[in-house]
Amino acid sequence: MFLLLAIVLAGCSEINQPITAESKGFWNEYIVYPLSWLITYMSELFGSNYGLGIIVVTILIRLAILPLMIQQTRNSKAMQAIQPELQKLREKYSSKDAQTQQKLQQETMLLFQKHGVNPLAGCLPLFIQMPILIGFYHAIMRTEEIARHNFLWFDLGEKKKDPFYILPLVAGVTTF
């Protein structure tokens, strides 16, 4: 776990530096730069339209992590299905002494095994998605070509907030 944390944090020192093929560090070489390259490549396919390039790469990333999201949803539904049984176990073993709590834990594990549910399986997709999405953000912010282009009424190089709050509204509408 500490090794993973060290690898991720190794990229933090160059956070404001433009991303290039010469950028060093695990984070830059294997996560941020490949995403930056993909955005640039897709943008060139659309006539240097970096907004469309970002949209296409976003869709590709979402498609790539779709199996993880499906697995997470299935596991969540399975956990919801066994909630009544879990509640009964908690009521049955409501005493707070160590022996009763140990028995509750054993019964809960048997219930999970019986229904093929892993309570930690819901967290695994998040640990895979987060580095990808954070790397995607860094790729967008650190790719110099993006900063010199516009998309619709947005100056992609500007660090100012949207005065019309269009993007938050679009994100909210497309989420539900």
Mark whether 131 and 59 lie in a shared domain. Answer: yes
Q: Is residue 171 part of a domain?
A: yes
Torsion angles phi and psi, residue 142, rounded to 5: -105, 0
176 contacts 170 by C-beta, under 8 angstroms: no
Q: Residue 35 is encoded by which pair of tokens?
A: 């995403």
Total residues found in the chain within this entry: 176
Mark whether 112 and 127 lie in a shared domain. Answer: no
Q: Is residue 78 part of a domain?
A: no
DSSP secondary-structure letter at 151? E
* Residues 1-18 pLDDT 10s: 666 666 655 555 566 788
11 contacts 141 by C-beta, under 8 angstroms: no
* Residues 16-75 pLDDT 10s: 788 888 888 899 999 999 999 999 999 999 998 988 999 999 999 999 999 988 888 888
Mark whether 17 and 40 lie in a shared domain. Answer: yes
State the pLDDT at residue 57. Answer: 96
130 contacts 144 by C-beta, under 8 angstroms: no
Mark whether 126 and 63 lie in a shared domain. Answer: yes
Query: How many domains, the chain?
Result: 2
**Kind plus residue range of the DSSP H or E element containing 169:** helix 166-175
Mark whether 22 and 95 lie in a shared domain. Answer: no
* Residues 60-105 pLDDT 10s: 999 999 998 888 888 889 889 999 999 998 888 888 888 888 998 9
Of 1, 49, 6, 54, nearest in space to 27 by CA = 6
Mark whether 93 and 159 lie in a shared domain. Answer: no
Mark whether 127 and 160 lie in a shared domain. Answer: yes
Mark whether 141 and 170 lie in a shared domain. Answer: yes
Which range (7-11, 24-28, 147-151, 161-165) has the least confidence? 7-11
Of 77, 71, 74, 68, nearest in space to 128 by CA = 68
State the pLDDT at residue 127. Answer: 85
| Amino acid at position 160, single letter | K
Q: Which domain holds residue 106?
A: 83-116
Mark whether 105 and 25 lie in a shared domain. Answer: no
Mark whether 7 and 52 lie in a shared domain. Answer: yes
113 contacts 105 by C-beta, under 8 angstroms: no
Q: Is residue 150 part of a domain?
A: yes
Q: Is residue 75 part of a domain?
A: no
Mark whether 19 and 95 lie in a shared domain. Answer: no
